[in-house]
Structure 1
Amino acid sequence: MTRAEEFEELRSLLFAIAYRILGSVSEAEDAVQETWLRYQASPTRPTSTKAFLSAVVTRISIDVLRSARVRREEYVGHWLPEPLLDDPYEDPARSAELADSVSMAALLLLERLSPLERAVFVLREVFGFGFPEVASAVGRSEAACRQLAVRARRHMDAGRPRFEADRREREELAERFFDAFRDGDVDRLRELLAADVQLVGDGGGRAPQLARAVVGAAKVARLLAAIVPPMARIHVTFEPREINGQPGAIFRDRDDKVLHTWTLDILDGRIQTIHSLINPDKLGHLGPVADAWAVAREAAQARRLTD
């Protein structure tokens, strides 16, 4: 088997590792490409190609994350991970860990970890690598990696909800939510939202965004219902679909360009958080991106006509 063939067999795993460490599709793709270049330039063939490439992509991702964290501290507004429609890597033996680790909630929890803790957690807890492989990948002793894993697991467990919704329950609730949203029905929307629900937006200063999170079922329900008439007038549409393993939707303008995405955190039979991502820099991998400012101006004009 050629190096290129070996690499292609492992590409989906390498992307899956990099995305969970970085929370960015574009940065993960760049890390995978850099891994290929380094593998191609390596004078020797490793004993285990999987271990070697996983270590390389992990080290690259750690370096990228360290610089990215500085940028994220200066980020305008609320930072959200780039939406992932389909996780290319599948492992039936670890399907639960893989699905959980790619959710918006889990990725935001991972942001609280140091780059080394995050890498160790991803390799060990998500992908099941042994500590010798983890230690080699991050350049630390096995004992140090065990300590990093314990700290990371403690942070992650402390931030997780106590009761997870099962998949069917989430899908049914999301379907009812999007039906109520399509109808602009405030009362039905409010019934499906947790009392302290949050609507969180990420425009990154590159698109219209909420000045702060909107909190509370009544406020969020009224806001959502209010945007439906002008949205319909300017032919903005939405397509419910799974994003980051959760119920969500992709919104498009009249030219079918991607405007923004929603993902829903569902717990205890209610929607706890709506993550709205409209930063165009994070949507390009989904297709041609709409001019959100132009859409907002058109929506404002349509709202005045509606009123």
Structure 2
Amino acid sequence: MIQNAKVNLSEIATEMDNPDTASIDELSTIDMLKIINNEDKKVAAAVETALPIICQVIDVTAKHLRQGGRLFYIGAGTSGRLGILDAVECPPTFGTEPGLVQGIIAGGYDAIFRAVEGAEDSTELSIKDLKERGFTNNDVLVGIAASGRTPYTLSALQYGKELGAVTVSITCSPASPMEKIADYAIVVQPGPEVITGSTRLKAGTAQKLVLNMLSTGAMIKLGKVYGHLMVDVKASNSKLTERAISIVMKAACCDRSTAQTALDESGGNAKLAIFHIISGKSIVESKKLLEAADGYIGKALRHSMKNHNQ
């Protein structure tokens, strides 16, 4: 069981003083912004150093999702909100079921909008939250915490590990307890914050970039992208409907009328419409071929062409 211990801020990289921002309160607005912008520039370079481990996480996540598992993000405060943000964007962007990628925050729904006192210090609450969602060893658990020491998130990773699930940590301070527990430890070190300890800044940006990579990379691996187009986009509003038409036109190199007709026939399924137009197969046959190719348009087209030439 994870024991709460007194936090020593001197051991946490994100709590260090930043000499480059020591007098930021005395600067003109434009000079203040230049400093913030210069600090932000350090984030992408810090994420780059973690690409090898991020690559491994994407591959193992895609494997588990393909086998019926789910992806869970869990964290407190800013970290928890970032996980929720990434999770809720997956259904409209990639056409996933809402339960495939889930974000859990310490304190529940109310904590999305305001701090829930004491929630992040609970070592039992995260386990309860995971159990309520039926978390299993076939799922992937990503714990997010800038310090790598948040009790709520730390206990979640410990619980996931005890179940035999894949556990991942995303932290911004090296040699943290979360890093030591997780199967895959993503450590991104953007350096001290502009405002000491305000990890919604550089650390939050770093976490967001990593989460973008994890979900996007996994979805690409699942065939939800063709070329650079999000072909599983869910046309749930007028903007996304227009985007679906544009995606079909680009992918299938066709005019708007052809794209619109194919989308109507496919029930708004852009991927199916694209394959139908390019292959010349019926909607029914196109659907069968795509399913046989695990949803990959390119793979289905190659199989279709190979069979045609035989």
TM-score, normalised relative to structure 2: 0.26
> Which of structures 1 and 2 has the bigger CA Rg?
2
TM-score, normalised relative to structure 1: 0.26
